[in-house]
Amino acid sequence: MEPRIPWPPLPAEGPELAPGAASPPSANDFSPPAPDFTPEVPPARAQSALRRRLGAIAAALAAFLAKFKAIILLLPKIKLLATAGSMFVSIAAYTLLWPWQFAVGLVLLLLVHEMGHVIQLRREGLKASGPMFIPFMGAVISARSLGDNALAEARVGLAGPILGSVGAAACVALWHATGNDLFRALAYFGFLLNLFNLIPVVPLDGGRAMAAMAPWMWFLGFLALIPLVFVLTSPILLIIVFFAGMETYRRWQRRRAGGAQEEAYYRVRPVDRLLVAAVYLALIALLVVGMHAAYLPRTVN
- The per-residue b/e assignment along 154-188, b for 16 or more CB within 10 angstroms, e otherwise, is bbbbbbbbbbbbebbbbbbebbeeeeeebbbbbbb
Q: Mean of the pLDDT values across residues 257-286?
A: 92
Element (DSSP H or E) covering residue 208 = helix 205-213
The predicted structure's pLDDT at residue 11: 47
185 versus 39: the higher-pLDDT residue is 185
Give the predicted TM-score (pTM) of the model.
0.70
pLDDT tens for residues 211-266? 999 998 999 989 988 888 888 777 888 888 898 999 988 988 888 887 888 888 88
Cβ(214)–Cβ(254) below 8 Å: no
Q: Where is average pLDDT lowest: 115-129, 135-149, 180-194?
A: 135-149
At residue 45, the pLDDT reads: 55
Instruction: List pLDDT tens digits, range 105-120.
Output: 999 999 999 999 999 9
* pLDDT at residue 205 tops 80: yes
- For range 274-283, the mean pLDDT: 96
Dist CA 203 CA 221 (whole Å): 11
In whole numbers, what is the pLDDT of the chain averaged over residues?
79
| β-bridge partners, 138 | 134
Q: Would you say 169 and 187 are in contact if contact means Cβ atoms under 8 Å apart?
A: yes
Mean pLDDT of the region 92-111: 94
Mean pLDDT in residue range 9-33 = 48
Taking Cα atoms as reference points, which of 191, 196, 192 lies closest to residue 170? 191
Report long-range pairs for 244-247 (Cβ below 8 Å, ≥24 apart): 244/201, 244/202, 244/203, 244/204, 244/207, 247/202, 247/203, 247/207
Res 28: pLDDT: 46
pLDDT value at 152 more than 50: yes
> What percent of the chain lies above the pLDDT cut of 70?
72
Q: What confidence score (pLDDT) does residue 192 get?
A: 95
- Give 271 or 238, the one with higher predicted confidence: 271
**Per-residue model confidence as pLDDT tens digits over 160-195:** 999 999 999 999 999 999 999 999 999 999 999 999
Domain ranges (residues) in the chain = 119-124+146-294
